[in-house]
Amino acid sequence: MDRFLLSFVAILGAVLLGGVSAVAEDEAPANAEEVFTKDVQAAGQAWQFSGVELPAGYTAAITASGAWTINETWDKKVGAAGHPEYKAGDAYVKSGAGEGSLLVRVGDTVLSFSKDDEVIRIQQPGRIYFCANDVATEEGLKRAELFVQGIPIQPLKDAHGSGFQDNDGTLKVRVAVTKSKK
């Protein structure tokens, strides 16, 4: 009975975390390519953990699909590249990147998707995180507590607007981990 309960709790946890799979810190992927998926929430003012800790000597190829609403005044949903006509200002998580674009973080390095069908390759070892590129606000910071294994994004002093609060939807992010070529 205890074994069943433990398995049930593990499965329930995986479902609640959006189907997250993980590689242990010192453990290399078992196959030539390990694939992980994560549903990244647009409304989360937090760096959402992908479930992947990239080991040294490996490469992660990251792609995304789907569309989310980042600004309710826009006439359309946007994909991983964000809105093609708007670049993020200083109050955004990553200024200069597309508003609403998918951001990828490993350590202190933050990359942005510039095209919806782009492949971002990471070779830096560490935990891989995701978030939408929007304005971090005090109200959004309170909601960040909802994200398990997330790193809350602190707002700037002069941040204003609805920020992450008017965001809706998810992007399905795929992380394919392979041994790096020498």
Q: Is the confidence at residue 157, as pLDDT, over 70?
A: no
Give the Cα separation of 48 and 147 in Å (integer).
Answer: 7
Identify the three-state secondary structure at position 70: coil
pTM: 0.80
| pLDDT attached to residue 72 | 86
Residues 6 or more apart whose CB falls under 8 angstroms from that of 167 comprise: 42, 43, 68, 69, 70, 132, 134
Residues 6 or more apart whose CB falls under 8 angstroms from that of 70 comprise: 42, 78, 82, 83, 99, 100, 132, 134, 166, 167
Sheet holding 170-179, edge to edge: 33-41, 170-179, 58-65, 120-122
- Total of domains in the chain: 1
Domain hosting 99: range is: 2-179
| pLDDT attached to residue 15 | 34
CATH number, domain at 115?
2.60.120.430
| pLDDT attached to residue 38 | 96
pLDDT digits (tens, 9 = 90+) for 116-153: 999 999 999 999 999 999 998 887 777 777 665 688 88
Give the Cα separation of 94 and 112 in Å (integer).
Answer: 8
| pLDDT attached to residue 150 | 80
